[in-house]
Structure formats: C-alpha cells, structure tokens
Amino acid sequence: MSANIAASRIKREFKEVIRSEEVAKCAIRVELVNDNFTELRGEISGPPDTPYEGGTFKLEIKIPETYPFNPPKVRFITKIWHPNISSVTGAICLDILKDQWAAAMTLRTVLLSLQALMSAAEPDDPQDAVVAKQYKENPEIFRSTASHWTNVYAGGPRVNEEFNNKIHRLKDMGVESDQARVALSSYNWDLERATEVLFSCD
C-alpha cells in the first residue's frame, strides 16, 4: 500500500518539477531511472556567482517506500568540492534530508535546497572536514579549488592552468589524475606536501 502512495506522490511531484519555471530556466532537471518511480536522476546547475557556476551536477535520488513521510536518499554523482558534500562519496549533509524533513516538502524543494546549499555552505556542520577547514581558513584557495573541480567534473568554464600543471607533474610520477587532484586539493595545492603524502610509506 505505502509504495503506491510513494509512487503516486512522486508522479505528481515529477510533473511539478517538469512544469516549474526553474526547469524552463534550465536550473534544475529530473528524469526517471526506472518505471516504478523509486529511482530518479536529478540535475542542478551551479548557481551564479559561485565557484560552481557553469557546471551541471548530477544527483542520484532514491525514493523510500515510506515517502513522503521519510526523505528521499540523495547523493551527488558528479564530484564536487563543497564543505557539506563528501568529495569521495557524494553524500550530502543537509538538515531537510535528515531530521528536518517534512511531508509537505517535494522533489522541487529538495533540488532547490541543494542549489541553495551550493550558494551558502554550512562549514560548521560539514560532511567533508578537509573541505570545510579550507573553506574557513583559505577562502581564496577554496574558491579556486571548487571552480577547478567544477571545470573538470561538471563541465564548468573556468580552466586553471596552474592546477592542471601540478596534476600533470604528479601524473608523470605515476599518480592517477583523480588521486592527484584530491591530494593537491586537500593540501591547498602545495605540490611538495601532496607528493610527500602520496608517496609516504605508511
């Protein structure tokens, strides 16, 4: 019975998103992965005036049978450098996806809330402690790093030659590019420090 409630509710919300003005402006999108409305693929555009601007971020959205009384399970498929989103798993720390969920909320609310989170991070309630520390202590480096990740993983427009060169130096030493990017990002693009960590014999 409950699965039917979830499915009919999601069908309605799916239509709401498709007809919304945000979709018309290409800010959010949602599509079905399977026919029974339990799995969807979301997409949000990086908000203007943020390091994510110009990028397109894909989301995995799983709808529990107990929906709308429990929140959907959402994670970023596109890699992103953000204090409230794991740079490794894409897990999201957002109150409405946990204890602040209300049955009146919808898919559209979720997508717009995630877009808002991209504009205004909550570094004191982080999902990724390394990113949160950088966000607070080195805001300039944080912005450059987030913008670089947006360029590489989300099709963003801003290329950072300096960062790319450092990644190439590590690739020449046999490090895979994603691994090199994570190490450099985590150590504020200090090539020596990142190299040390990658090649330490622990």
Does the annotation count 26 as an active-site position? Answer: no
Q: b/e per residue, 15-35, with b = 16+ CB within 10 A?
A: eebeebebbeeebbbbeeeee
Q: Which of 74, 93, 110, 111 is labelled catalytic?
A: 93
Contact in structure between 144 and 184 (CB atoms under 8 Å):
no
**SS3 state at 172:** helix
The letter for the amino acid at 132 is A
Token pair of 50, please?
């943020």
Nearest by Cα to 185 from 118, 127, 132, 111? 132
The letter for the amino acid at 200 is S
Instruction: Indicate which residues carry an active-site annotation.
Output: 93
